[in-house]
Amino acid sequence: KAGVTQTPRYLIKTRGQQVTLSCSPISGHRSVSWYQQTPGQGLQFLFEYFSETQRNKGNFPGRFSGRQFSNSRSEMNVSTLELGDSALYLCASSLGAVYQETQYFGPGTRLLVL
Amino acid sequence: SQKIEQNSEALNIQEGKTATLTCNYTNYSPAYLQWYRQDPGRGPVFLLLIRENEKEKRKERLKVTFDTTLKQSLFHITASQPADSATYLCASPGGANQAGTALIFGKGTTLSVSS
């Protein structure tokens, strides 16, 4: 079974630009969660989508948004990029019906904002 | 709000010894705790989940404990090997009612096993 895939793997943007990251979950998984990982803050939860609906949201500004498509693929968008948005963005998928579930992470997208 | 603290940023041990990593939670007792392994440049990989009503869980050379009195989970790797060198992350369910699959992570402990 193919794992979670994320594209692109690396991105360089400048302040003020916007960026869209993509995540394809494991086949059959309906939940996709997004996390931001930085050396200072560690892994921080951004949001979770289940069956095309946002089910949970972390404490990030409205510049961070996401969506999920009917095939469970998900995208996240960051508008008006700031230097502090430089991070590894990870997506994780799970079956999603209940909690206490293992999450399967993708390799991440490394975003550098100049 | 819940915080997950992994007090040791780094742990260096010799091959063959037992590594013990600590995870403390600060607020409510989580329904479960999960442990993940993360290698440089890769996403975390799930290792073990222990529920609130379980005292101990084992998987091969790995053992996890959950002490609700101390608000703590311990993660042990016995007979450690250089291949065990990685960052280990502890995670608790997040969200107001711990529903959904949002996780709150600790900052991790980087384990280095020398031969």
10 Å CB burial of residue A76 (0-12, 13-18, 19+) is buried
Residues in chain B closer than 8 A to A100 (CB atoms): 31-32, 49, 51, 93
Q: Which of A39, A89, A32, A31 has the alpha carbon at shortest distance from A60?
A: A89
Indicate the residue of B41, B89, B94 with minimum beta-carbon distance to A45. Answer: B94
- Distance from the first to the final alpha carbon of chain B: 41
Q: From CA A52, how far away is CA A37, in angstroms rounded?
A: 24
**If pLDDT is split at 50, 70 and 90, which confidence band does B93 have?**
confident
pLDDT > 60? residue B99: no
Give me chain B's average pLDDT, please.
91
A99–B31 CB contact, under 8 Å: yes
- Top mean pLDDT of A54-58, A109-113, B53-57 is at A109-113
Number of other residues whose CB lies within 10 A of the CB of residue B30: 24
What is the model's pLDDT at position A5? 97
The beta-carbon neighbor of B49 closest among A4, A41, A102 is: A102
Residue A76 pairs with which residues in a beta bridge? A21, A66
Chain A residues whose beta carbon lies within 8 Å of the beta carbon of residue B102:
33, 45, 48, 56, 58
DSSP state of A5: E
Quickly state the pLDDT bin for B96 (edges 50, 70, 90): low
pLDDT in tens, B102-111: 789 999 999 9
What number of C-beta contacts closer than 8 Å exist between A and B?
75
The tens digit of pLDDT for each residue in A58-98 reads: 889 999 999 999 999 999 999 999 999 999 999 999 987 66
Q: What are phi and psi of B74, to 5 degrees?
A: -110, 140
B40: buried, middle or exposed (CB in 10 Å: 19+, 13-18, 0-12)? exposed
Q: What is the pLDDT of residue A95?
A: 86
Residue B49: partners with Cβ closer than 8 Å, 6 or more residues away: A100, A102, B32, B33, B34, B35, B57
Interchain pair B106, A4: CB under 8 A: no
Percent of chain B whose pLDDT exceeds 70: 94
Across the range B26-40, mean pLDDT stands at 90
Distance of CA B97 to the CA centre of its chain: 22
* pLDDT value of position B1: 76
| Cα–Cα distance measured from residue B71 to residue B109, given in angstroms and rounded to the nearest whole number | 18
Is the model's pLDDT at A112 over the cut of 90? Answer: yes
Q: What is the C-alpha to C-alpha distance for residues A111 and A114, in angstroms, rounded to an integer? A: 10
* Residue B18: both structure tokens together: 């037992």
pLDDT tens, position by position, B5-24? 998 889 999 999 999 999 99
Cβ of residue B45 closer than 8 Å to a chain A Cβ: yes
Q: Is the pLDDT of residue B97 over 60?
A: no
Residue B94: the pLDDT is 73
- Reported as a single tens digit per residue, the pLDDT across B42-57 is 999 999 999 989 989 9
Least confident range of B49-58, B92-101, B106-115:
B92-101
